[in-house]
Amino acid sequence: MAEQQELLTVATAMLDKAYTPYSHFHVGAAAVGASGKIYGGCNIENASFGATNCAERTAIFSGIAAGETHFTALLVTGNTDGPIAPCGICRQVIAEFFDADAPIYLTNQKGAFTATTVAAILPGAFTDLN
């Protein structure tokens, strides 16, 4: 199976795991660790809305917790009309753990598929404390 199709399958399965009692908006993501393993993620909301974790960050953080330190590709999906767009916080987290030219796949559940890159979704990312 092509990597993109496998990522879409994992991310789509994550839609059912989303914890969304406030927005009822389910998001699924899948991130490929440097080891080649794929990590799924869903959005997890909170009564204190700012504590919500997006699907992209859940996938990345699950990989980090499993021992990954770097990722090579990420796919996100949702029940949107067009390809879903990651939020600004997720773009910054993606920039931390992916190369600038790593592929980011923005999809929906109706067949939309846009391939972009980390650099394209967050130009001028803050990456260096020095």
Residue among 10, 15, 38, 55 that touches ligand THU (CB under 6 A): 55
Return the residue matching tokens 């020095």.
130
87 is in an annotated binding site: yes
SS3 at position 79: coil
Report d(CA 83, CA 57) in Å as an integer: 18
HSE value, Cβ hemisphere, 13 Å, CA-based, for 43:
22
In the complex, minimum distance from the CB of residue 76 to ligand THU, in angstroms, rounded to a whole number: 6
Indicate whether 77 belongs to the interface with ligand THU (CB under 6 A). Answer: no
Indicate whether 107 belongs to the interface with ligand THU (CB under 6 A). Answer: no
Residue among 52, 68, 97, 118 that touches ligand THU (CB under 6 A): 52
**Is residue 3 flagged as an active site residue?**
no
Report d(CA 129, CA 17) in Å as an integer: 36
Residue 38: is it exposed, middle or buried by C-beta count within 10 angstroms (0-12/13-18/19+)? buried
State which residue, 86 or 103, has the beta carbon closest to ligand THU.
86
Q: Rounded to 5 degrees, what are φ and ψ at 19?
A: -105, 100
Q: Which of 6, 45, 56, 68 is catalytic?
A: 56
Indicate whether 27 belongs to the interface with ligand THU (CB under 6 A). Answer: yes
Which residues make up the interface to ligand THU (CB under 6 A)?
A: 20, 23, 25, 27, 43, 45, 52, 54-56, 76, 84, 86-87, 90
